[in-house]
Structure 1
Amino acid sequence: MHDKDKLATAAANGNVELVESLLLNGADVNGVNRFGRTPIQVMMMGSTPVARVLLAHGADPNVVDAHAGATPLHDAARTGFLDTVKILIQFGANPDVGDNNNYRPVDLAQQNGHQEVFDFLINI
């Protein structure tokens, strides 16, 4: 398995120790895996520690999915992970960008019934 796939897989599995180890050993935090996605795009959205490690190592919080036009903030808002939403915002994620359907993260939080995420995003 290529290093970029290893890092993306560790992020997707929420394995913060392996993510940190791979990054400390030179893995590219913004490198794409064989599916064309970066670790922050495939990370376990409920794993705030993984998000924090990736972002602290320079992961781009505004990377856009080629198919849907969504950013990691869109994904975290859609799935209702408030802590991940907060860390993405802290590291510069743009809450006002629309996806291919022109939905902002706040819109996705509302559509999916994630009131706490909606309340947070509507007030920033």
Structure 2
Amino acid sequence: MNADILTKAAATGDTDRVRILLENGINPNAVNRFGKTPIQVMMMGNTRIAELLLMHGANPNIVDSSTGLTPIHDAAREGFLDTVGMLVRNNANTNVRDRRNLLPLDLAKENGHEEVLAYLKSLE
């Protein structure tokens, strides 16, 4: 299944494979057998993968049906400022709340990621 191949490449940080798969027409919003898209499982610290997925039309606002998290929630929680910035530049919604009613900036604060918190507050 093509979606499984692309999500695995994104999750493991295989930038070259992600690029090749996308250039060969695999849908960046295809759902794998676990119900996840590549941008939801990508290696959050790999901005090149985020950029490739977004350039090929990945939805930065895809919501995880079980948690209500979006990719920007995940990147903020893990403290990946560059990825947060990349998502914001590609129209990620910073005002969406997860199932716990938390915003991405709340997750950055909760996990002690001051730079990400400051950046997200600067967008308000």
Measured against aligned partners, the alpha-carbon deviations of 1:76-96 in whole angstroms (never above 9, x if no partner) come to 000000000000000000001
Equivalence for 1:20: 19
How far has the Cα of 1:16 moved from its partner? 1.1
How far has the Cα of 1:41 moved from its partner? 0.1
Equivalence for 1:70: 69
Measured against aligned partners, the alpha-carbon deviations of 1:64-112 in whole angstroms (never above 9, x if no partner) come to 0010000000000000000000000000000011001110000000000
Supply the RMSD in Å over aligned alpha carbons: 0.4
Equivalent pairs, count: 123
Gaps of 5+ in 2: none
With the length of structure 2 as denominator, give the TM-score of the two structures.
0.98
Mapped partners of 2:88, 2:54: distance in 1: 11
Equivalence for 2:84: 85
How far has the Cα of 1:7 moved from its partner? 0.2
Mapped partners of 1:66, 1:43: distance in 2: 17
Mapped partners of 2:77, 2:84: distance in 1: 10
Equivalence for 1:8: 7
Mapped partners of 1:13, 1:54: distance in 2: 14
Equivalence for 1:53: 52
How far has the Cα of 1:20 moved from its partner? 0.8
Secondary structure of the 2:91 match is coil
Mapped partners of 2:118, 2:97: distance in 1: 18
Secondary structure of the 1:103 match is coil
Amino acid at match of 1:92: N
Mapped partners of 2:25, 2:75: distance in 1: 27
Fraction of identical pairs, as percent: 54
